[in-house]
């Protein structure tokens, strides 16, 4: 399960805190398990189970320790069915789909997203990524989630594979990255 948000544009912004609870929405930071504290605007909750309902309280804290009232979110963990996973890159206001092989030059960076598809409709997903490489040819930033950055470090070849749990019904997606000098 992935929660995304936009941090407030306040000079005094310190961090976001998230509390999770089952049964009912948390009423305060003490009314549940605190599962995230930080500034990065994405949190992936790996401690959830399929077929359950989770409630979250998302609170903004400023540098003075003042807390917002927060926003409550309830989410059911019934996984969507996915026929396939596609990888996309946004370029010049448009979307380009990545094929099976991506060629990069040492020093290049590329942000890509994983998108699930079912009957021609996109589905939000956050695959788990694995990298197979002999040397550290590439690095993958945010190895969990739908938005990732590939950095080309050394000449060579690497294979990135994205997996979803079996209950989603899709096969893994594979991208071979060839890095040239």
User: 8-41, pLDDT tens digit by residue?
Assistant: 998 999 999 999 999 999 999 999 999 999 999 9
Mean pLDDT of 35-55: 92
With a cut of 70, say whether residue 145 has pLDDT above it. Answer: no
- Of 26, 55, 76, the one marking the end of a domain is 76
pLDDT of residue 2: 85
CA distance 45 to 77: 11
Looking at the fold, whether 27 and 65 belong to one and the same domain comes out as: yes
Claim: this prediction has a pTM higher than 0.75: no
Cβ(75)–Cβ(18) below 8 Å = no
CA distance 119 to 132: 31
Query: How many domains does the chain divide into?
Result: 2
Looking at the fold, whether 70 and 102 belong to one and the same domain comes out as: no
């Amino acid at each position: 399960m992935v929660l995304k948000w936009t941090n407030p544009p306040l000079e005094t912004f310190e961090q976001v805190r998230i509390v999770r609870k089952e049964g009912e929405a948390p009423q305060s930071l003490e009314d549940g398990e605190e599962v995230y504290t930080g500034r990065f605007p994405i949190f992936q909750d790996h401690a959830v189970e399929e077929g359950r309902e989770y409630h979250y309280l998302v609170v903004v804290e400023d540098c003075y320790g003042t807390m917002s009232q927060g926003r409550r979110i309830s989410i059911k963990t019934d996984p969507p069915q996915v026929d396939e996973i596609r990888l996309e890159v946004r370029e010049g206001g448009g979307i380009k789909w990545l094929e099976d092989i991506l060629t990069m030059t040492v020093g290049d960076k590329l942000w890509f997203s994983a998108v699930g598809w079912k009957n021609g409709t996109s589905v939000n997903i956050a695959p788990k990524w694995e990298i197979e490489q002999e040397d550290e040819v590439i690095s993958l930033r945010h190895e969990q989630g739908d938005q990732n950055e590939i950095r080309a470090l050394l000449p060579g070849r690497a294979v990135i594979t994205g997996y979803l749990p079996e209950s989603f019904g899709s096969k893994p997606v594979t991208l071979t990255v060839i890095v040239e000098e």
